[in-house]
Amino acid sequence: MMEADSLFEKVLKKGVAVDVIIFNALMDGHCANGNMERAFSLLKEMDKLNVPPDDVTYNTLMQGHCREGRVEEARELLDEMKRRGIKPDHVSYNTLISGYSRRGDMKENL
């Protein structure tokens, strides 16, 4: 992921336009490696560069949190995504259900 970040920074410095797909791919890699701090810094960078996040962006971040057992934070992301006008999909809800299930907490309301 360090190499991917380095390449991403080079692309930005050259003034190449980046899109949500590039950001989502980087976020997915960082989430898969447990680097949630970097994944969220990419979300902030998206806002700074006026690249609107999408459902994949939020689903990726939610999956990263659930993977770490931080289901409440994932649930907060669902609320944030709705506030931004991004409609959660079946992946969004399945991610939360899976997170609660892994924790043995199936009484939590979505």
- Assess if residue 74 is contained within a domain: yes
- Phi and psi at residue 92, in whole multiples of 5°? -60, -50
DSSP state of 46: H
Distance CA 109, CA 78 (A): 13
| Residue 110 belongs to a domain | no
- What integer is the mean pLDDT of 69-86? 96
The tokens for 16 are 């190449």
Domain count, the chain: 1
pLDDT of residue 106: 67
Domain membership flag for residue 94 = yes
H-type alpha helices, the chain: 2-13, 20-32, 36-48, 55-67, 71-83, 90-102
CATH, residue 46: 1.25.40.10
**95 located within any domain:** yes
Domain that holds residue 46: 2-102
Residues 40-62 pLDDT 10s:
999 999 999 999 999 999 999 99
Question: Each residue of 89-108: pLDDT tens digit?
Answer: 999 999 999 999 988 776 65
88 closest CA partner among 99, 100, 76: 76
